[in-house]
């Protein structure tokens, strides 16, 4: 089985070295590069085509939220996990809206970090409990969301359970591309901007 390719973006060399050490202890993970700021992270991502970029939010030249947003636009097949010492509403909501599949604090255990990488690579959402709580508080239901189809509702439920597009496709006996279309449609109807927000919407509305 091929290993998950990781790019580490953090402006502190000691942090990058520590993360590399954590990840390389996991046989499923492979660190393919490092970047010290947001612009370099984008350049390296284009060059190395990692599966997941682990992105600090406070970086010079281009901050992590802006870098994640550009990464999702320019390389939509590359997932991003925010790893930061910052826990405030603007950062959490900003990172998720930008497209981050995970939001963890730097005091997270090595096992949590590695699991978040594997989850992101599989198209699954993983947030620290503190970040999830803040994001739920910030989310507001659209005034009149367009009604979801039965299939879109089922896909939304499975997204909330943390299932990947591939797993959803296998369970529902449909193509993975069709699952992606359903996810895109339900996001548009609900006025949401990311899979993470969709998962929390489902939890908030007891779906």
What is each CA distance from 16 to 57, 63, 144, 156, 201, in whole angstroms?
14, 16, 45, 35, 34
Residue 53, by phi and psi: left (phi above 0), alpha (psi -120 to 50) or beta? beta
Position of tokens 């085509």? 49
Task: Among 115, 137, 159, identify where a domain stops.
Answer: 137
- Cα–Cα dist 174/27, whole Å: 32
Half-sphere exposure of 73 (CA within 13 A, CB side): 9
Given phi > 0 = left and psi -120 to 50 = alpha, else beta, which region is 206? left
Here the tokens at position 29 are 């993970």
Half-sphere exposure (CA, 13 Å, Cβ side) for 154? 11
Q: So what's the pLDDT on residue 105?
A: 87
What is the distance between the alpha carbons of residues 110 and 116, in angstroms, rounded to a whole number? Answer: 10
Number of independent structural domains in the chain: 2
Structure tokens of 69? 């947003």
Structure tokens at 176: 């993975």
Q: Where residue 167 sits, what CATH number does that domain have?
A: 1.10.10.10
Please identify, among 137, 154, 188, the residue that sits at the C-terminal boundary of a domain. Answer: 137
Residues 71 and 131 both lie in one domain: yes
pLDDT of residue 126: 79
pLDDT single digits (tens) 6-64: 999 999 999 999 999 989 889 999 999 999 999 999 999 999 999 999 999 989 889 99
**Weakly modelled stretches of the chain, pLDDT under 70:** 1, 135-146, 207
Distance CA 146, CA 82 (A): 31
Pairing state of beta strands 52-55 and 4-9? parallel
**Which of 109, 137, 165 is at the close of a domain?**
137
| Residue 53 shares a structural domain with residue 74 | yes
Q: Which domain holds residue 55?
A: 4-137
Question: Do residues 60 and 148 both lie within one domain?
Answer: no
Q: Does residue 48 share a domain with residue 98?
A: yes
Asked whether the whole model's pTM tops 0.85, one would answer: no
State whether 43 and 98 are in the same domain. yes
């Amino acid at each position: 089985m091929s290993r998950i390719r990781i790019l580490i973006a953090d402006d502190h060399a000691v942090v990058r070295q520590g993360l590399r050490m954590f990840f390389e202890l996991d046989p499923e993970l492979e660190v393919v590069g490092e970047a010290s700021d947001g612009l370099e992270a984008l350049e390296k991502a284009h060059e190395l085509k990692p599966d997941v970029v682990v992105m600090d939010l406070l970086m010079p030249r281009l901050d992590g939220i802006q870098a994640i947003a550009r990464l999702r636009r320019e390389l939509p097949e590359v997932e991003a996990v925010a790893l930061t010492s910052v826990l405030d509403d603007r950062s959490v909501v900003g990172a998720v809206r930008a497209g981050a599949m995970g939001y963890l604090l730097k005091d997270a255990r090595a096992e949590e970090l590695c699991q978040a990488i594997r989850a992101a690579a599989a198209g699954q959402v993983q947030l620290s409990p503190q970040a999830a709580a803040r994001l739920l508080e910030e989310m507001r239901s659209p005034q009149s969301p367009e009604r979801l189809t039965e299939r879109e509702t089922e896909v939304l439920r499975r997204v909330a359970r943390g299932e990947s597009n591939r797993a959803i496709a296998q369970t529902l006996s449909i193509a993975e591309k069709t699952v992606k279309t359903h996810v895109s449609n339900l996001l548009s109807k609900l006025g949401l901007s990311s899979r993470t927000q969709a998962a929390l919407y489902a939890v908030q509305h007891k779906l």
